[in-house]
Amino acid sequence: MKKLLKSTVAALAIAVSGIAAHAEGKLAIYHWFEYIPQELLDKFSAQYNVEVVMDTYDSNEALLANLKAGSMGTYDVAVPGDYMVEIMSNEGMLDTFSPSEMPNFENIMEQWMNVSFDQDRKSSIPYQWGSTSFSVNRDVYSGDINTTDIIFNPPSELQGKINVLDTAGETLTLASLHLGIPQCSTDREQLKVLNELVQNAKQHWASFGSDVAKDVLVSGDAAAGMIWNGFGMKAREEGANIEYAYPKEGYIVWMDNVVLLKDAPNRENAIKFMNFLLEPENAAAVTNFARYTAGVKGVGPHLDKALGAAPELNPPAGGNPQFVQACSEDVQKVYDTIWTNLKK
C-alpha cells in the first residue's frame, strides 16, 4: 500500500511538472477572438523559440474587467481599442518602453504616431484599425440600409432578426449617434432618452453576441447584425449575401493597439512580439486574416488583392466617423446601469 502510494505520488509529481514545464521563453497574450492567424503565432514561436499562449476576450470592457479582477501579472500583452488604452493607462495598468527597444518602431505610420490615447506611443503600438456599424442580409431586406434605424427602429422585415454586439461601449455609442446626442453626455434628459431608445429597440433584437456576430449572419440566424467591418467582410466572403452599412447618422471608427501590460511576466518577449508585429509582412498577415487595415508602413505588397476593392474597407467620403470616448465616472455609471437594465 505504501509502495503504491509512493509510486502514485511520484507519478503525479512527474505529470504535474510535465504540464508546468517550458516556463522559460514564454509569452502570454490576451487578445480579441479570431484576430490573429495561428500561422503567425507559430512563426513567432519558431523564430524566437518562445512558447506562445493566448486567451481571448470579446469586448474592451471584458478585457478591462478580467485584468482588474486579478489577472494582472499573468499576461504580457493585450490588444485594447483606442479609448480602452486611455482608460487602462489612467488606471496604471500599462508599462512603458522606449522606441530604441524596438527596431521596427519607425514602421508605424505617421498618422498613428501621435494619437490622443497614447502620445508618442509610449506603451502601445498600432495593431489594426477599422469601423463598427452593421451588415444587412440583402435577401431579406432590400431597402436603404445606410441609417441607424436598421438597428434601433428596424423595418418589419428585420424585426426580431437582429444581433447586437455584446459591448456597452460600441452599442451605446451607436445609439448616441442615432439620437444625435453627444457621447458621454451629462444631460439627464438625453441619457433618459438614450435609455428609452435601447429599451424599446430590444424587443426587435434576437440576440446579444460579439463572438457570434459573423456566424449568425452566415448561417442566417440573424438577418442584420452590428459588426466590425473586417468581420463583416469575412461573413460576406463566407457566403452571406450581406452589405455593410455606412449610416448617415454616423458610425464608429477605432484603432486596436498592442499594449505592454504592467507586471508582464515576460517583458522581453513581449517587446520582441510587438516588434515582430511591426514588420510589414507580419502586419499584412494580420490584415489578410482579419480583413481590417494595418497601421504599419510598407504592408502594400503583401496584401490580398480582394482588400483593395472591398466596400467594407473603403468608406464613402463625407461620412461621420466617430471614435468612442472614455466617459467620466458619473456618466460611465449611468451607462453601466443602462446596459445592465438592458441585458437583464
Of residues 35-54, those binding another protein (CB under 8 A): 38-39, 42, 53-54
Choices 138-146, 163-171, 245-253, 306-314; region in contact with another protein by CB under 8 A? 163-171
Cell 476576450 maps to which residue? Answer: 57
Question: Apex CA 186: angle with CA 191 and CA 148, to 5°?
Answer: 45
* In the complex, minimum distance from the CB of residue 207 to another protein, in angstroms, rounded to a whole number: 3
Strand residues in 194-250 grouped as ranges (E): 205-208, 224-228, 242-244
* In the complex, minimum distance from the CB of residue 70 to another protein, in angstroms, rounded to a whole number: 4
Which of the residues 173 through 232 are near another protein (CB under 8 A)?
Answer: 188, 191-192, 195, 202, 205-209, 211-212, 214-215, 218-221
Phi, psi torsion values for 95, nearest 5 degrees? -95, 165
Choices 106-114, 164-172, 299-307, 317-325; region in contact with another protein by CB under 8 A? 164-172
Cβ neighbour number for residue 64 with a 10 Å cutoff = 18
Closer of 143 and 239 to another protein (Cβ): 239
Helix (H, G, I), strand (E, B), or coil: what is residue 106?
helix
Closer of 121 and 161 to another protein (Cβ): 161
Size of the site for another protein (CB under 8 A): 73
Angstrom CA distances, 320 to 20, 114, 127, 288, 312, stand at 51, 22, 23, 26, 15
* In the complex, minimum distance from the CB of residue 308 to another protein, in angstroms, rounded to a whole number: 25
Please enumerate in sequence order all residues whose Cβ is within 8 A of that of 223, keeping only pairs 6 or more positions apart, or say none. 136, 137, 140, 141, 157, 158, 161, 162
Give strand pairing partners of 321. 251
**Contact code string over 324-343 relative to another protein, x by CB under 8 A:** -----x--xxx-xxxxxx-x
Candidates 6, 33, 241, 306; binder of another protein (CB under 8 A) is 33
**C-alpha to C-alpha distance for 314 and 317, rounded to whole angstroms:** 9
Residue in 40, 22, 23 with CA at minimum distance from that of residue 258: 40
Closer of 27 and 296 to another protein (Cβ): 27
Q: Does 21 bind another protein (CB under 8 A)?
A: no
Which of the residues 254 through 313 are near another protein (CB under 8 A)?
Answer: none
Provide the greatest CA pair distance for the chain.
Answer: 80
Which of the residues 49 through 108 are near another protein (CB under 8 A)?
Answer: 53-56, 58-59, 61-62, 64-71, 74-75, 87, 91
* In the complex, minimum distance from the CB of residue 264 to another protein, in angstroms, rounded to a whole number: 11
Candidates 15, 47, 111, 116; binder of another protein (CB under 8 A) is 15
Give the pairing of strands 251-260 and 321-323: parallel
Please enumerate in sequence order all residues whose Cβ is within 8 A of that of 291, keeping only pairs 6 or more positions apart, or say none. 229, 230, 231, 233, 234, 237, 307, 310, 312, 313
Candidates 8, 96, 116, 200; binder of another protein (CB under 8 A) is 8
Closer of 39 and 304 to another protein (Cβ): 39
Q: Does 16 bind another protein (CB under 8 A)?
A: yes
